[in-house]
Amino acid sequence: MVKKMIRSAGKFDVIVIGAGHAGVEAALAAARMGAKTIMFSINLDSVAMMPCNPSIGGTGKGHLVREIDALGGEMGLNIDRSMIQCKMLNKTKGPAVHSLRAQADKNKYHSEMKRVIENTDNLFLRQAEVTDIVIENKQVLGIKTSTGSFFEGKTVVLASGTYLGGKVFIGNSVFSSGPNGLAPANKLTESLLENEISIRRFKTGTPARINKRTINFEKMIEQYGDSDIEPFSFLTEKIDIEQELCWLSYTNTSTHNIINQNIHLSAMFSGNIEGVGPRYCPSIEDKIYRFADKDRHQLFIEPEGLDTNEMYVQGMSTSLPEEIQIEFMKSIPGLEDVEMMRPAYAIEYDCIDPLQLNLSLEFKDINGLFSAGQSNGSSGYEEAAAQGLIAGINAVQKIKNEEPLILDRSEAYIGVLIDDLVTKGTDEPYRMMTSRSEYRLILRQDNADIRLTRKGFALGLASALRLEKLEEKEKSMVLEMERLKETKIRAEFINPVLEKLNSTVVKDSMTMLDLLKRPELNYENLAAIDIDRPELNRDVMKECEIQIKYTGYISKQLAQINKFKALENKYLPQNIDYSQIDGLRLEARQKLNDIKPLSIGQASRISGVSPADISVLMVYIEQMRRTNSNV
């Protein structure tokens, strides 16, 4: 009992357990919103550490980073400060799937984030292992550390990453460890179980690191960053750096033969690993086993930073023994004389079942306890940071007795991520992809500020400078759209340009707006005839061009969102006993009672709830409404 404990080592509004990408965003958000916040890390050298790929962004993930930034988070600013190469992915496709990805100097990413944390008011950083979350009568009261110290907290955010019960596998070698050789958190799981929190076992892995001096880059294909870097943060004006090269190589039949001959030594195939791994990031042995028809697989060789010779071998996650790792790497062009500096490994860890959470990321049955990141069964730095930001915001909203920030699926990729986790659950580490979003043409990474910055500002998280920049951007867009409608160019000036671009010539004058509707035309190749164009920043031109080219598709998607909102706004009372509703199937009754959806819309996305069940629910809610209106 807390009453019998020794005196408190400190009183805080928000306690954050873990200082990875979820923890730092949660702690920074809470502190910036005025809450007295403490963040615990087993080792301060692991603050915002990148134990796997030294990169931020990627397909779908870049959208999350932009949204974190638009709300007032730190990840976008931090990667802008620490990137060593950057490129926009999927540029040949439509703007809905354009995604920024940057290689980071991993040590600088850590040190820059730690510097920000150390200089943030209301935020305290402490090195200690949290062993217990203290809960009484379903109310969180604080935490205990391995030294027996008790810290009082009005709210607690669990952001334990892959440290919880961490176990590392390299061949037949199995040992207790957190990521990157750091200490695991071996006692906290017991505290969670004692409080009736459902735990599952997941696994992930990371490739080997190799010595740059032992690589023959002449046998590899150079991979360049974009010549004109687009920043992640809406606050960053320009990034002008000398970018580092990455390289591309491939496995071959010799590589595959070595792996197949030794696949029984892999921890994944020997049965030593119990946890479920990420489907979208398989080990090299898994890829070769599952895709036996392919005679090669890509490997990207990427620098870990400017102050190290360590190189990351993307695409080569494995749990094979070290000697086999070295043998098959030496069969790869350019790696014949490679020196391995850190072996690849698989790591197994405990995480919670996210179906136990509300959309605010607070536990349904434990008042004041939130969870975020890989402890919720997701994978990736970006997914973790997005959840951490929302958990930190909502911990403060809880203390203030104000409504939580809940972003729905039509508002943000963050909304898709959280709704998928807490409504559908996950049986494997969850990864964000653009295909998970039904409204991805509206939820582009370029308009994240338009969608979310006012929400962040209203919470006291996004700064006045962010709001000012957004308003300037929106004003410029309005003025530019008016100019494009009014600016007419005569045919004799247009046609020479159209002929050069293999675009159909015209007989009469055309407005700049109508010209920009053509897929092959853009601001850049029309500059010669658009002589009165004012000086515009890249973001304004991009927004205007997208609005013009995709106006029909955008209108259709907005209509779909209106239908979606209609169901999301049909709220369900939280005290409904679904077992008493006639017409609902047994599975639906059980699932609805477990998850307690907020709305008909959320109920419709629960696995095991059919369209027929939703029809029954809608009739039931209408009957309740009529009964109450007659009282």
In a domain, 564, yes or no: no
> What's the rounded Cα separation, in Å, for the pair 384 and 367?
22
Residue 19: pLDDT over 80: yes
Strand segments, DSSP code E, in 315-461 are 340-342, 345-352, 369-371
Over residues 156-179, the mean pLDDT reads 95
What CATH number did the domain enclosing 514 receive?
Answer: 1.10.10.1800
Over residues 184-211, the mean pLDDT reads 95
Task: Using pLDDT thresholds of 50, 70 and 90, give the confidence band for residue 278.
Answer: confident
- Asked which of 286, 318, 348 is the last residue of a domain, the reply is 348
* R_g (Cα) of the chain, nearest Å: 26
State pLDDT tens for residues 436-452. 999 999 999 999 999 99
φ, ψ dihedrals at 312, nearest 5° = -95, 130
Residue 625: pLDDT over 90: no
In a domain, 472, yes or no: no
Please tell me the total count of domains within the chain: 4
Q: What is the DSSP letter of 421?
A: I
Residue 1: pLDDT over 50: no
In a domain, 288, yes or no: yes
Task: Using pLDDT thresholds of 50, 70 and 90, give the confidence band for residue 4.
Answer: low
Q: What is the pLDDT of residue 454?
A: 98
What CATH number did the domain enclosing 373 receive?
Answer: 3.50.50.60
Pair 278, 140 in one domain: no
In a domain, 467, yes or no: no
Q: How far is CA 184 from CA 46, 102, 162, 449, in A?
A: 12, 29, 8, 38
Q: What is the β-pairing status of strands 345-352 and 139-145?
A: unpaired
- Asked which of 523, 551, 579 is the last residue of a domain, the reply is 551
Pair 36, 72 in one domain: yes
Structure tokens at 246: 């990455």
Q: Comparing C-alpha atoms, which of 135, 159, 267, 288 is closest to residue 203? A: 267
Q: 293: which residues sit within 8 A by CB, 6+ positions away?
A: none
Pair 343, 408 in one domain: no
Pair 307, 360 in one domain: no
Pair 223, 252 in one domain: yes
State pLDDT tens for residues 550-599. 999 999 999 999 999 999 999 999 899 999 999 999 999 999 999 999 99
What integer best gives the mean pLDDT of the chain? 94
> What's the rounded Cα separation, in Å, for the pair 93 and 271?
41
- For the chain, the maximum distance between any two Cα atoms, rounded to a whole number of angstroms, is 89
Domain holding 512, by residue range, is 479-551
Angle, CA of 413, 419 and 420, to the nearest 5°: 90
Pair 545, 581 in one domain: no
Over residues 6-24, the mean pLDDT reads 94
Pair 184, 314 in one domain: no
Pair 336, 355 in one domain: no
> What's the rounded Cα separation, in Å, for the pair 429 and 444?
24
Q: Give the DSSP per-residue string, 172-231.
A: TEEEE--GGGPPPB-SHHHHHHHTT--EEEEEEEE--EEEGGG--GGGSEEE---SSPPP
In a domain, 134, yes or no: yes
Q: What is the β-pairing status of strands 167-170 and 345-352?
A: antiparallel
Helices (H) then strands (E): counts for the chain: 20, 22
Q: What is the pLDDT of residue 27?
A: 98
Task: Using pLDDT thresholds of 50, 70 and 90, give the confidence band for residue 277.
Answer: confident
Residue 623: pLDDT over 90: no
Q: What is the β-pairing status of strands 150-158 and 139-145?
A: antiparallel
> What's the rounded Cα separation, in Å, for the pair 260 and 262?
5
In a domain, 465, yes or no: no
In a domain, 613, yes or no: yes
CB 145 within 8 A of CB 128: yes
State pLDDT tens for residues 108-162. 999 999 999 999 999 999 999 999 999 999 999 999 999 999 999 999 999 999 9
Q: What is the pLDDT of residue 269?
A: 80
State pLDDT tens for residues 359-396. 999 999 999 999 999 999 999 999 999 999 999 999 99
Residue 5: pLDDT over 70: no
Over residues 315-330, the mean pLDDT reads 96
Task: Using pLDDT thresholds of 50, 70 and 90, give the confidence band for residue 631.
Answer: very low
State pLDDT tens for residues 461-490. 999 999 999 999 999 999 999 999 999 999
What CATH number did the domain enclosing 230 receive?
Answer: 2.40.30.260
Pair 142, 288 in one domain: no
- Asked which of 325, 348, 371 is the last residue of a domain, the reply is 348
Give the distance from CA 500 to its chain's centroid.
42
Q: What is the pLDDT of residue 630?
A: 57
Pair 509, 407 in one domain: no
State pLDDT tens for residues 44-102. 999 999 999 999 999 999 999 999 999 999 999 999 999 999 999 999 999 999 999 99
Pair 220, 182 in one domain: no
Question: Using H for helix, E for strand and C for coil, what is the string for 11-65?
Answer: EEEEEEECCCHHHHHHHHHHHHCCCCEEEEECCHHHCCCCCCCCEEECCCHHHHH
Pair 325, 420 in one domain: no
3-state secondary structure of 384: helix
First-to-final CA distance of the chain: 46
Q: What is the pLDDT of residue 431?
A: 95
In a domain, 254, yes or no: yes
> What's the rounded Cα separation, in Å, for the pair 40 and 16?
6
Q: Comparing C-alpha atoms, which of 206, 343, 327 is closest to residue 256? A: 327
What CATH number did the domain enclosing 576 receive?
Answer: 1.10.150.570
State pLDDT tens for residues 347-365. 999 999 999 999 999 999 9
